[in-house]
Amino acid sequence: MSTTSTGPDDGRTGPAAASGGAGAESGNGARGASVIVNVLQVIRCFTVEEPVLGVTEIAAQVGLHKSSVSRILATLEQEQVVARDEASRKYRLGLGLIAVAGPLLAGLDVRRIAMDCLRELSETTGETAALNIWDGTAAVTVEQVPSRQQVKHTSVLGSRYATGLSASVQVLLAHEDPERVRGLVDAGRITFDSPADPAAYLERLAAVLRDGHAVNHGETQQDEVGIAAPVLDHRGEVVATVLLAAPRYRVPAERTPELAAHCREAARRVSQRLGAASMGPEGSPAAAARRT
């Protein structure tokens, strides 16, 4: 989440294939897959923190030669997936991505269904309400209703959060298999500011599961509080989180339970609209018992 103080919170190719026959087809397939991976790695270099990048910077991040990166960027520019600033000669993501992502976002029923609940949550609490989904390694912001207050915390749609103490990440991982969580932590896919004890982290996730919400009280950003609760679908599976984000100075310890209750209630209502089975009165998921 980012703080707003104005306005109404990752050329490599496969081994050479033998000429002719199935070996050549296999080699061509490997090279094709490698090209796709390289293109995706280039696109993922552009982040909220670094929205504008040059060829040299991207090449250093993805481990490709600058000439390879230049060719990829030229193709992406032609397709309007990236755009080049004529003054700096650097690149940023282009509007062509909207055409690619549009059908996905439109097809996210949870996003459409949650919108009214997010608006009401933001209006009730005076803080930013957001919807995050899990992409396998990170929580991704797919919808948001900013606080109407002048000082607020907001997030750019598409922002990815892979920090283990992020409120949404805690909620989403609390409903994952513990061995899967341990694997993500051991592999460095879920990050921490200081060395993490996997056993202690799993205990924290168990508490999140029991309580029906997670709190990040300035643990990832000193001036921000995040509170998240799970959204379930008709199968009883967690498909998203409802997140409240607020400046820390507006959320003293005594206010946290109140905001957590509002967050759980909003998540419960979204879950009901998705056909989830009965949940606890304050949004504690009925499916929690299967993970304890």
pTM comes to 0.67
Residue ranges per domain, the chain? 10-99, 108-291
Distances (CA, A) of 28 to 51, 68, 75, 107, 244: 33, 18, 20, 33, 48
3-state helix, strand, coil in the chain (%, to 5): 45, 20, 35
Provide the residue-wise pLDDT of the chain in tens; the chain has 292 residues: 555 543 333 333 333 333 344 454 555 666 667 889 999 999 999 987 889 999 999 999 999 999 999 999 999 999 999 999 888 999 999 988 877 877 766 666 788 899 999 999 999 999 999 999 998 889 999 999 999 999 999 988 888 999 999 999 999 999 999 999 999 888 888 999 888 888 999 999 999 999 999 999 999 999 999 999 999 988 889 999 999 999 999 999 999 999 999 999 999 999 998 888 765 544 444 444 333 3
Eight-class DSSP state of 163? B
| Beta carbons of 4 and 128 less than 8 angstroms apart | no
Give ∠ CA 104-139-59 in degrees, rounded to 5.
85
The CATH topology of domain 10-99 is Arc Repressor Mutant, subunit A (1.10.10)
Distance between CA atoms of residues 188 and 59, nearest Å: 22
Q: What is the pLDDT of residues 89-115, one digit of tens each?
A: 999 999 888 778 777 666 667 888 999
Question: What is 108-291's CATH number, 3.40.50.720, 3.40.50.2300, 3.30.450.40, 3.40.30.10?
Answer: 3.30.450.40
Task: Give the span between the Cα atoms of 3 and 223, in whole angstroms.
Answer: 9
